[in-house]
Structures are given as C-alpha cells and as structure tokens.
Structure 1
Amino acid sequence: MAERRLILMAGMLALGCAAFLLWNLRAPMGFILSLRATKLAALLIVGAATGAATVLFQTVAGNRLITPGIVGFDALFVFLQTMLVLALGGAGYAALPVLPAFLIETACLAGAGMALFGLLLRRGAGDLVRLVLSGLILGVMLRGLSGFAQRLLEPSEFAVVQQASFASFGAVDHVQLFIAAPLLGLALLVAWRLSPRLDLALLGRDKAITLGLDFDRLVLGVLGLIAMMVAVSTALVGPVTFLGLLAAALAQALLRRLDHAALLPAAAGLGALILVTGQFLFERILGFQSTLAVIVEFLGGLVFLALVLRRTAR
C-alpha cells in the first residue's frame, strides 16, 4: 500500500513538473523553458531537502512537532542579509556577485549550525532538549539584533532587506543550482542509506545502544547532514520555516508508517510537490508572483498548531 502511494505521489509530481514547464508556453520557447527549468529545479531540490531534513531532525530529537528552522537558521539568514545591507548599502548589496554571495551565506549558515551542534552536544546526543531550547533563544536574539539594525537603515535599504528576507524562487541563478543540486542530492542519498540505523534510533537512545547502534555518532552525523541541507536550501532561496513540518506531517499521515526507507522519499517528494504545484497555481493560474512562501508558512503554522493541540488532548 505504501509503495502504491509513493508511486502515485511520484506521478503527481511528474504531472506538476510538466504543467509548470509547458503551461501556456509561447515564443521564444527556448528562453522561457530555460527560465522555467531553473525555477523548477530550485523548487524541487529545496522542497525535497527541506522535507527530508525535517524528518531527520524529528527522528534524532525524538519529537514529531519540531523542524530544523526552530534552531534559528531563518533568523540567522535574516541577520546576515541585514548586516550585509548595513555594511555595503543597498547599491553595494545589489552589486554583490551571485556565486560568492551564495557560497558565503551557505558557509556561514552551515558553520553556525555545526558550531551550535558541536558546542551543545559535546556531552553526547542525549542533550537534544538543550539544543532545541538554545536554538530558540538564539533565534529570538538574532531577530532582535536584526530588528535593531534595520532601524538604522534608510527606507530604500530596509526595503532591500525585506525583499531578501522572504523566500524567492524567481531569483535563483543556474550557477547556484550547479553547486546546490549535487550537494543536496548527495545529502539525500546518504540520509536514505542511513534508513535502517534511523529506524533503530526511533526506539530511543538506550534501546538503540543495546541493539548495537552507535547512537551518539549517528546523531552527530545526521545533524551535520541537516545543517548542510538547511544551509544550502536557505542560502539558495531564503527561509521557508514550516514547509518541512508540513511535508513531514503529510508523509506520516499518507504512509501511516515510520520506516525511513519510505518516509524520507515521501517527505522529500511531498515537499517538492507542495512547492511545484503551489508555484504553478499562484504564478500560472492566479497570476501572483510572491505569495507562495507566505501561504506555505501559514499552512505549516496551522499544521503545527493542530499537532500541538492533538498531542495536548491526548
């Protein structure tokens, strides 16, 4: 049954991709197809990486209500954009070369994530509660610093920061994709290969260690994968905090099983499907340009509240 649902989801994703590329296609077809293919690739890899990263984070944390964005990646991204505009000005920020800016942002996000994981998990992977709480506090602190710095900006510079702080799939460069796609594809493959160990990790630290799993090493390695996946995705298009939570919750409801060999592809596929179909509807059918990220965050927030209320009711 789960395999059939995965095949059905893959078929829906293929149809969504075809519609996104070919709907209302006009001359010059080659140029338009090139632009659409670049945006489609960004939608696919960001959706897949975000969905899979959320499943991984929920597994190692032992909690189905959290997402990697809760650790503060989105707040750090906004802080970086604000500091760049404050230091360089609006014109200087706009003149930054695309590739170096992408690499710097990715390195900063991944480095900060690994530093946070390394500092807080030195005593072992059992201290994940401290990691989550510290991430929340870090996010609040960075948002406060960003808000203070934004008050020092000119109105035109503030508008630049606001535009850069929201996820945008229309400004992705193909050079960025040539770097991001292999990195995220490799991370997804490694995560899927770890599926049997992740299934053991679901039993809890003590039981997993009893069964021969090096739990602490697995958790640190998975957190490294999560840091890279979230860093690359965020640097590529911007923060989409609740997309992963939405994809992971739908994958669990669709499959009704927790084995990662099926759950990871399902969450990755649903994350990509949400972005592709959502962008197609808003851009091709409704004629909107920048509302998808807001709608995804809204729906993800509703899913989060529903999960919390259901857990509380129990």
Structure 2
Amino acid sequence: MATPNKPTPTSASHNIPTEGTAAADTSAEAPRFAQLRRRRIVAHIITTLLAIGLIYLLFHDTLPSRSNTKAWDYTLNLVIGQVGAMIVVSVAIGFSTVLFQTVTANRILTPSIIGFDSLFLLIQTIMIWTVGATVGEEGSIFDHALANYSISAGLMVIFAMTLYGWLLVGKRIALPTLLLVGLVFGLVFRSITGMFQRMLDPAAYMQLQSVMFADFSFVNPTLLMISGGVTALCAIFALLRHRRYDVMLLGRDPAISLGINHRRETIIVLFLCTLFVSSATALVGPVLFFGIIIANASYQVLSTQRHIHTLPLSAGLGIIGLAGGQYALRQLGVEGSLSIVIEFIGGLFFLFLLLKGRTA
C-alpha cells in the first residue's frame, strides 16, 4: 500500500518563517521607524521655534520704541492679552477637534457640527435680550466676565451631557445618528438666535456683535485667566489619557475587545470638547473652520494619528496660524480681518476635503 507523500524539510522551510527571517524583517523596519521618529521630533522643534518667533514679531512690531511710558505699558498689556488668547484658542480648538475626530472616526467633523457654537450664540443673545445691553453703573450680567462665562459654559455642559449622554447611554444610538441630531439642533439654535436678534434694539445688537465673530484685538484679562485655566486643565487631562484615545482609533469593536469602555470614553471626550469650545468661544467668539485646518495639518506633517504627537502639534500649528496671520494682516493694515480670513480659508479647505474624499 502506497504511503502518502510527506513534506520534505526543504519544502516545509519555505512555509514557516524562521527566526532569522523575523529578525531580518525587524531590522528592515527599524530604519523606517527611526526616520519617522526623527521626523516627528524635527516637526515639534520647528513648530515650537516658529511659534516663538512669530510671537516675538508681534511684540516687536506692536510695542512703542520708548519703554517705561504709559503708552508702552498699555500696549504691552494689550499684546499680552492678544497672544494669550491666541494660545488658549489654539490649544482649545486643536485639542477639541483632534479628540472629536477620534471618536467620530472622521477627519472633516468638528465640535461645531453638533451645535456647540450655535448654542453659545443663542445663550448670549437670550442673555442680552433679557437683561439689556447695560443695567446701572456696573453693567449687566452680559458684561460681567466671570458670570457670563459661568452661565454660558455651565449651560453648554448641561445641554451636552443631558442630551448626548442620554442618547449614548440611555438610547444607545449610533454615533452617526448622534451627529445628525446635533446638526438639527444647531440649525434650530441658529433659527432661534436670528429671531431674538431681530427683536433687539440697535444698541444691544451692536454689543452682541462683539461675541458673534472672533476678535483677538481686545481680550478681557479676567476671562483670559478663566479660559486659560480651564483649557490647561482639560489639555493635561487629555494628554494623560492619550493611550486610551490611540486605542479608540482602531474602532469601537477592537477598542472594546482591548478593554476600553468606548461609550464612557466617548462621553468624556464630548465633555472635554464642550469645555474647550466654550472656553475658546467665550474668549474671542466662534471659530468654525479653524480646527479642521490645524488638525489635518498635524496629521499630514506627522504621518501618524498618535495623540501624544497630534494634540500638541495641532496647538502649535494653531499658534503659528493665528500669530502669523495677525502679523501679516497688521503689515497690510487690515488687522481686524483675521477671523474672516480664517473662516474663508477654512471653508475652502473643508470643501477640498469633501471633494477629495468623494473622488477617493
């Protein structure tokens, strides 16, 4: 009786990877990993140096030639407020956009898509419509930085946690449905805001315009300290949990299989995004498309989505964009147009990403 053919040691050796083969593959990948690591380090160094250099140019270009004068002191405080606002907004918008894109697994979405900016404008409009532009010598609650920020941020957090927490935990709906609900609420908030704005008197409407558009020219020092403190705490908290967010990049099911409570982490990210957006919006006003630019730029520069790299680099690129844009527009004599330029470029970039994704 014929015996079945048995594989020879020579043929088997071609199918089973040996230790030498694995070592060769590892050694082949080592130079590429080293090159990517050097690239990321260089990217962080260059970004930091550019940000510091542009901030120096802002101070050098704005401050008067003669120091120790009233004009010099006033200008110094003004520039410190502007630069501080740029740093806070860059960190808040950069971190919130990267984290939001992590939980949504989409690079063209921002927290603005679920109505955070629209809710802030609605709160400000109702506040000034209720209490008026100015009440008495001390002004209304709209003019009080701490009270205004506390009410706005508090209502935004309550709304986000109540609605989105209930939808995610109670109803257990899918994330695309959550985004659709947020989009509808954003449209509703804009419609209600427009209705209340039509009922404002001209003086109140002029004061409301100060929060309707991003403005880095005059920053409230008290509000800057509050927003900066909240943003710094949230940023540190996010950086300490960067490994969890790296696992969430794999998707919902793989993250759960690796021990991540995906639903709880999503709610935490939404909470952080609420605080980030409320801090930035209360400080300078709504900035819709700025996050898309700096978040996607950080992905392209680093060639990775690891949060320990993308979070700080997105903030650094934001500082470069704001400080460089402010300096360039100041040289052109149109300093107050920074928010308009950001929204214009961001809108074009948003359309580019949509068309690129469609063709891909």
TM-score (norm 1): 0.94
Give CA deviations for 1:11-51 in whole Å, capped at 9, x if unaligned: 10010111112214214323311211111101111111101
Structure 1 residues 13 and 124, CA, compared in 2 at 3 Å: closer, same or farther? farther
Q: Which residue of 1 aligns with 2:178?
A: 131
After TM superposition, give the deviation of residue 77 of structure 1 in Å.
1.7
Name the aligned partner's letter for residue 269 of structure 1. Answer: G
Give CA deviations for 1:68-97 in whole Å, capped at 9, x if unaligned: 011111111221222122222333496432
Contact 1:9 1:270 in 2 (8 A): yes
After TM superposition, give the deviation of residue 250 of structure 1 in Å.
0.9
After TM superposition, give the deviation of residue 290 of structure 1 in Å.
2.4
Name the aligned partner's letter for residue 103 of structure 2. Answer: V
Distance in 1 (CA, whole Å) between partners of 2:173 and 2:297 is 28
2:131 aligned with 1:85, yes or no? no
Q: Which residue of 1 aligns with 2:224?
A: 177
* Match of residue 331, structure 2, among 282, 285, 296: 285
Give CA deviations for 1:72-123 in whole Å, capped at 9, x if unaligned: 1111122122212222233349643222222222222222222232122124
2:287 aligned with 1:240, yes or no? yes
Distance in 2 (CA, whole Å) between partners of 1:89 and 1:273 is 38
Q: Which residue of 1 aligns with 2:349?
A: 303
Contact 1:58 1:66 in 2 (8 A): yes
Name the aligned partner's letter for residue 74 of structure 2. Answer: F
Greater RCO, 1 or 2 (C-alpha within 8 Å, sep 6+): 1
Range 29-38 or range 94-103, more displaced: 94-103
2:270 aligned with 1:227, yes or no? no
Distance in 2 (CA, whole Å) between partners of 1:151 and 1:82 is 10
Q: Which residue of 2 aligns with 1:72?
A: 115
Which runs of 5 or more residues in structure 1 are unaligned? none
SS at match of 2:158: helix
Which runs of 5 or more residues in structure 2 are unaligned? 1-38
2:345 aligned with 1:294, yes or no? no
Aligned-residue Cα RMSD (Å) equals 1.8
After TM superposition, give the deviation of residue 138 of structure 1 in Å.
0.5
TM-score (norm 2): 0.82
SS at match of 1:144: helix
Query: Percent identity between the aligned chains?
Result: 34
- Please list every run of at least 4 consecutive aligned residues from structure 1 whose deviation after the TM superposition is greater than 6 angstroms: none
Name the aligned partner's letter for residue 120 of structure 1. Answer: L
Distance in 2 (CA, whole Å) between partners of 1:157 and 1:38 is 25
Distance in 2 (CA, whole Å) between partners of 1:14 and 1:65 is 29
Q: Which residue of 2 aligns with 1:313?
A: 359
After TM superposition, give the deviation of residue 179 of structure 1 in Å.
1.6
After TM superposition, give the deviation of residue 241 of structure 1 in Å.
1.0
Structure 1 residues 31 and 158, CA, compared in 2 at 3 Å: closer, same or farther? closer
Structure 1 residues 125 and 45, CA, compared in 2 at 3 Å: closer, same or farther? farther
* Match of residue 4, structure 1, among 30, 33, 42: 42
The structure whose Rg is larger is: 2
Contact 2:168 2:263 in 1 (8 A): no
Q: Which residue of 1 aligns with 2:254?
A: 207
Q: Which residue of 2 aligns with 1:258?
A: 305
After TM superposition, give the deviation of residue 310 of structure 1 in Å.
0.7
Structure 1 residues 41 and 151, CA, compared in 2 at 3 Å: closer, same or farther? same
